[in-house]
Chain A
Amino acid sequence: KAGVTQTPRYLIKTRGQQVTLSCSPISGHRSVSWYQQTPGQGLQFLFEYFSETQRNKGNFPGRFSGRQFSNSRSEMNVSTLELGDSALYLCASSSTGTGRLADTQYFGPGTRLTVL
């Protein structure tokens, strides 16, 4: 099976702009979660989507939003970019089946966002 894919891999934006990041989960996985990774704050949970519904949200401002499509692909959007939004954004997918690795999250390579 193909792994989690994220596009684009690298992005450079300027303050005030907005950005959309895309994530395609592993085939058959219906849950997608997003995380922000920075040297100062480490890995922080943004939100989780399951069957097109957001069912968990982290402590981020409303500038950060996301959605999930019927094919389980997900996008996240950051509006009015700030310098502090520079980070590696990681997407993870998981199944909701049974078995030892059920609900284990598998990560994509991430999108490196740089805000100038």
Chain B
Amino acid sequence: GDSVTQMEGPVTLSEEAFLTINCTYTATGYPSLFWYVQYPGEGLQLLLKATKADDKGSNKGFEATYRKETTSFHLEKGSVQVSDSAVYFCALKPDSWGKLQFGAGTQVVVTP
């Protein structure tokens, strides 16, 4: 079945450091891929999305490229801030009928 694997956390960084969170997936067909972020005590916020191979999603300085050949969708940000401290979830949606499949989440802690 479909699955998403993310790097384990917590990932601890200093402010202005470069962030990468690895995400790989297993799916049949051509799923849509997502990154969501969850701040403490809140629901999930959509960070970015990509729907086809080589598509790049970007938002708030975060980027991720849909790599079909490596079945990956790694999240990157060039210079993190303390406010980026949160849990990040990689997810895939295999078709248009709901059912997001999530990775386990990666906690990111950014220190001043």
Q: Could you list which residues of chain A lie within 8 angstroms of chain B, going by C-beta atoms?
A: 4, 6, 31, 33, 35, 42-43, 45, 48, 50, 55-56, 58, 90, 92, 94, 96, 100-101, 103-110
Q: Which residue of A lies closest to B96 (CB)?
A: A103
A residues in contact with B49, CB < 8 Å: 100-101, 104
A residues in contact with B98, CB < 8 Å: 31, 33, 45, 48, 50, 55-56, 94, 105
A residues in contact with B51, CB < 8 Å: 100
Given A104-B34, A107-B45, is A33 in contact with B104 using a C-beta cutoff of 8 Å? no
B43, A109: Cβ atoms under 8 Å? yes
Given A100-B51, A101-B49, A103-B32, is A45 in contact with B99 using a C-beta cutoff of 8 Å? yes
Given A33-B98, A45-B99, is A107 in contact with B34 using a C-beta cutoff of 8 Å? no
Report the bound CA distance from A35 to B102 in whole Å.
11
Q: Which residue of B lies closest to A111 (CB)?
A: B43
Q: Could you list which residues of chain B lie within 8 angstroms of chain A, going by C-beta atoms?
A: 32, 34, 36, 42-46, 49, 51, 89, 93, 96-105
Report the bound CA distance from A94 to B93 in whole Å.
12
A109, B42: Cβ atoms under 8 Å? yes
How many residue pairs link A and B with beta carbons under 8 A? The number is: 60
B89, A43: Cβ atoms under 8 Å? yes
B residues in contact with A90, CB < 8 Å: 43-44
20 contacts between A and B (CB under 8 A): A6-B43, A33-B99, A42-B102, A43-B89, A43-B102, A43-B105, A45-B99, A50-B98, A56-B99, A90-B43, A90-B44, A100-B49, A100-B51, A101-B49, A105-B46, A105-B93, A105-B100, A107-B44, A109-B42, A110-B43
